[in-house]
Structure 1
């Protein structure tokens, strides 16, 4: 029976691909009859699109010659399959800077010997390019990666407030003035990067709240704890503040912190949202009945399905000071987030008021569960993604989406914004496993990145706008360069469920991650010259964050013990029984993390 032979063939050779294509193999294992092919979405995808493989002309010629010589032994059948379902890109690597020997050396040094190539797979393309034509020239479109230009009126108001701050509180010895710091920030913007056209992305007029937030950003930028990445093999001494939620009974789906560090919220499988005040202040509403007991937490009810993601509107941590200081209590209150977004299995996105603690708007357009939602860094706009394989761009005043981003072959599971607000990132899972970058101005796809072997679960773009990180459910984190469209690093260390959250330091020199393995990990994203020429690196990290010699975990040749940890890991902080749902760098470079205590974990 051919089904028995097919199953025997599958079991004999699946071990060669299990590490990189495990999810695909599980889908293929379900197919045993011709009828299954028609009903299986994964099989349909592979029949409709060709799988791209890059080979040198010599290797391809040897392969064809070998198959033709065994025409009667199945060679003809295999050739027909290659012609029908495989797109072979013949690349003369010897004539390029990326020769075979150099590629092998790079992979060995970075511990990426088992990884798929950036241009291999069902979404095969030139690295970074959205053009999947095998004969297309791999030229990438130029992106506008510089910060969004500030409104002239807003800039003048910010300068005036900063000048007043300098006169009231002169800088201490060796400290620059706030006005000088503001002008320095503007000068530091890369000259070779174009800025997005503000007229093409309309925003509401700036308010006094926007001025106060920009002033606070300049203060934090001057006074923050600076992280310059790893130096001499010793990582920066980062601090992590961990918030653990107890008695959740494994019902927490997501955790989110507000930008001013005063609120924490969770979305639950029971369809409600709970918000806590981190400084224990009462969360009051003008609609509260007279004489009601104030509470430091609020429950928001409205969704009819599990809540999968939350996002606070932009805010800044402006401290309250006495009347003779430079900041009033009302200014600090005005800087707090005013709105929060939530998405759910009920296919809706909801906008909540954090003044009245009520639901303001229900956004309906997706026809499947909505997995993620994110406010734009500048407010006003937000992004959602769904199991309907689309991501959608919205503005808060309108109930219909402004853009629909279509192109993924599977659920869009996670999203992120570029810091300048002109581009968005989308990540997908089974059958796709790509990260795509879209322009919100015209809705076009401008970059596509492949290489993950697991479902993509987290994306975060660096504040400098040039790099971004993506994590998957196999525990791998990949760093990508938006300008060149290429992968720069692969970070390994997470395991048992993968990476759930990523965030960057203000300098874009350090990445922090959290995941299902109950750890918060800190990574050096810069090229480490000391380990550049050493395949295994010269240091690994213990579970308590201390750095130790490689000899403590390196054993004799043979089966590896435990998960592989990249030498780029600076430190690792472990919880006892709390998977880490969220990690976040504050503007002062303090790391905040949130997890839910699980008794059975």
Structure 2
């Protein structure tokens, strides 16, 4: 058998050409080794963001199996030859030792991670910085994801606090706890009070709630998109402590990915599946929060004023006959009967009342005696007077009626307010030389942005307006000029409301705050902070001791004017809240918004009494209670004014009313402000299934209803702009 002659190796450098080897030695690397080498290279070069993204991508892709080296003979090839370097070819000293080679370049990865972890554990500021950064990001997130992301903050807040305490950073833990606890008092007040007493590492072992947080997983219902956004943000901010929060999420949280349908059903309500396994859901926390004592009775009159009004009414009774078997004095005593839970007369500082205030009280008593009784035995539908505004060019943004029902104000995109007289009388100014004294309308110019909200003072002498220019302006209806500009909000103001007692007013803004003002101060007296989204609407309780706010985060809140603290939270809407109305007796709150549902709440307990449906899928813009509180009227984008029996299906319900016929059927297809409907026109309407407490609907001619209002005699006024 012939043998190949042996090859002679030529020493390098002798000028002879070195023969090319048949093949270079190849080293088999696993995919994990390659990934590790790349990540360690990126880390060494300082490409931390690229390393984090590569780490995330590599963890999502399956690792291919490493082919095994085999010496078995196959039909297509002989035995696999283990290639060796040729003579004269010096192999790389690290060819067979990739791990040792990498380790020779830099410390092992595990060692570096341990060093970094130890460094983080010894730096208490990392927890504060990481949580504060995440909190700021959540508050600036899109409204679509903010409610879900906000719920993740609470368990992270608890675990950051417990981590600081367990590591002995007691002072830093106390600072962290006091800084951020106000964000979670409404939903988790009971738990926070239990955790507040923890100040030493030994307290964690003795506190059952703290032990539960350390030993059980905290369930969070969240969408896949929100979870990806959260993790991506934490990875991007790993250098400022994002890795700490990722570790907490990995160890203590159990995200439950929910579908969009489940979220829509659950939005605005506490999810019973969220929280620690085996512990009470957040609904109990809300109930505990809503147990705070409140005084919902009427604000009593000062004894001197009460005696003076009674004296004036007695004089009138001597010259007039009783109406419906009641004298004016009896009507006044009924209206001002003392309640058990009434606040004190001096709970809210008010200016001294003058003769005009007494005259207004007497007029209110006379109107109360003459008002239409809508709910004596069973609720009945009111009469509705609809005002249509033409040629607005889609610039009308808001409407408001005064308490005398003889004046209406409109706010426009063109930065002005316009007043119209409803009784045909000209709007005369005090100055006889005013050129507009014979006109039945007035234009008030002063804002530099669209006017989104307005409110008349109870004595109808002033108008307050709110605008995109971040200011509220007080206008005199005697001179039709601006008196004061109130500045303080950092973003546009969406709504403004005068107190029923006058002197005070409240504003709601895009800066996530509501503020209480007095007309004689240019700065806010109270800032109601703690909302996590826009404050869209605001209203006062009849006794002026409380302010209600409606939010884009689908909740309503009740604030104590004296302390500036929230005392009630109402959760149950599935869309932003556009409007609020408080019953005349102060016991019930009605709210409505983008979810097309009117919710009725018991203010005393904070619980929802019922939900009323009938507006289809259209937004609701305005709500108003009748003067006896038995009927609620709503107006919305479906071009209707709808009437609701508030007390039906509640403990105050009377006998069931007889079925309305013709224009007031329960399916929502009622008569309208434009007269009787033709059969074909009625057939073309989409049928709306209404709840049983829906009494009737008044349809308009393509006119969204911006505002509904009850006069003192229970006549309902409504207004809107024609959209051709």
- Normalising by structure 1, report the TM-score: 0.72
Structure 2 residue runs of 5 or longer lacking an equivalent are 1-53, 61-136, 156-183, 189-215, 220-245, 257-263, 276-281, 658-664, 674-685
**Which runs of structure 2 are paired with 1:436-455 in the superposition (5 Å)?**
436-455=557-576
Query: Which SS does the other structure have where 1:198 is aligned?
Result: coil
Q: Residue by residue, what CA displacement relative to the aligned partner does 1:86-119 show, whole Å, maximum 9, x if unpaired?
A: 79xxxxxxxxxxxxxxxxxxxxxxxxx9566854
Query: Which SS does the other structure have where 1:200 is aligned?
Result: coil
Distance change in 2, residues 1:301/1:175 (3 Å): same
**Which runs of structure 2 are paired with 1:35-434 in the superposition (5 Å)?**
40-41=141-142, 42-43=145-146, 44-49=149-154, 83-84=252-253, 118-120=269-271, 134=285, 137=288, 140-171=291-322, 175-187=325-337, 189-191=338-340, 194-228=341-375, 231=378, 235-287=379-431, 289=433, 294-315=438-459, 337-429=460-552, 432-434=553-555
C-alpha distance in 2, partners of 1:290/1:447?
Answer: 49
**Which runs of structure 2 are paired with 1:534-549 in the superposition (5 Å)?**
539-544=666-671
Residue 293 of structure 1 deviates from its aligned partner by 6.2
Q: Residue by residue, what CA displacement relative to the aligned partner does 1:173-227 show, whole Å, maximum 9, x if unpaired?
A: x52111122223333x543xx1112223110111111111111121122221111
Distance change in 2, residues 1:140/1:295 (3 Å): same
1:99 is matched with which residue?
A: none
1:15 is matched with which residue?
A: none
Q: Where is the helix percentage greater, Structure 1 or Structure 2?
A: 2
C-alpha distance in 1, partners of 2:560/2:400?
Answer: 26
Structure 1 residue runs of 5 or longer lacking an equivalent are 7-35, 54-63, 68-76, 88-112, 125-130, 316-336, 533-537, 547-560
Matched, 1:458 2:559: no
Distance change in 2, residues 1:565/1:83 (3 Å): farther
Residue 170 of structure 1 deviates from its aligned partner by 2.6
- From 417, 435, 442, the counterpart of 2:556: 435
Residue 378 of structure 1 deviates from its aligned partner by 0.7
Q: Contact 2:381/2:695 (CA < 8 Å) preserved in 1? A: no
Residue 121 of structure 1 deviates from its aligned partner by 8.9
Q: Contact 1:268/1:307 (CA < 8 Å) preserved in 2? A: yes
C-alpha distance in 2, partners of 1:214/1:371?
Answer: 31
Residue 496 of structure 1 deviates from its aligned partner by 4.6
Distance change in 2, residues 1:218/1:146 (3 Å): same
1:71 is matched with which residue?
A: none
C-alpha distance in 2, partners of 1:277/1:122?
Answer: 56
Q: Which has the higher contact order (CA 8 A, sep 6+)?
A: 1
C-alpha distance in 2, partners of 1:440/1:236?
Answer: 35
Q: Contact 2:290/2:569 (CA < 8 Å) preserved in 1? A: no
Residue 286 of structure 1 deviates from its aligned partner by 3.5
Distance change in 2, residues 1:37/1:277 (3 Å): closer
C-alpha distance in 1, partners of 2:496/2:292?
Answer: 27
Residue 344 of structure 1 deviates from its aligned partner by 0.4
Q: Contact 2:583/2:625 (CA < 8 Å) preserved in 1? A: yes
Distance change in 2, residues 1:293/1:479 (3 Å): closer
Query: Which SS does the other structure have where 1:478 is aligned?
Result: strand
Q: Residue by residue, what CA displacement relative to the aligned partner does 1:297-327 show, whole Å, maximum 9, x if unpaired?
A: 0001000000001101103xxxxxxxxxxxx
Q: Residue by residue, what CA displacement relative to the aligned partner does 1:310-350 show, whole Å, maximum 9, x if unpaired?
A: 101103xxxxxxxxxxxxxxxxxxxxx11100000000000
C-alpha distance in 1, partners of 2:473/2:669?
Answer: 42
Residue 564 of structure 1 deviates from its aligned partner by 3.1
Residue 289 of structure 1 deviates from its aligned partner by 3.5
Residue 83 of structure 1 deviates from its aligned partner by 4.5
* Cα RMSD after superposing both structures: 3.6
C-alpha distance in 1, partners of 2:477/2:544?
Answer: 24
2:717 is matched with which residue?
A: 592
Q: Where is the strand percentage greater, Structure 1 or Structure 2?
A: 1
Q: Residue by residue, what CA displacement relative to the aligned partner does 1:118-150 show, whole Å, maximum 9, x if unpaired?
A: 5449999xxxxxx99859956601211110010
Q: Contact 2:290/2:606 (CA < 8 Å) preserved in 1? A: no
Distance change in 2, residues 1:496/1:273 (3 Å): farther
C-alpha distance in 2, partners of 1:123/1:134?
Answer: 12
Q: Contact 1:517/1:579 (CA < 8 Å) preserved in 2? A: yes
Matched, 1:476 2:597: yes
Matched, 1:570 2:695: yes
Query: Which SS does the other structure have where 1:162 is aligned?
Result: helix
Q: Contact 1:49/1:85 (CA < 8 Å) preserved in 2? A: no
Give the number of aligned pairs. Answer: 471
Q: Contact 1:123/1:450 (CA < 8 Å) preserved in 2? A: no
Larger Rg: 2
C-alpha distance in 1, partners of 2:462/2:339?
Answer: 33
Q: Residue by residue, what CA displacement relative to the aligned partner does 1:265-306 show, whole Å, maximum 9, x if unpaired?
A: 100011011001111211122446466662110001000000
Q: Residue by residue, what CA displacement relative to the aligned partner does 1:442-480 show, whole Å, maximum 9, x if unpaired?
A: 111110011110100000100011001000112111000
Distance change in 2, residues 1:227/1:305 (3 Å): same
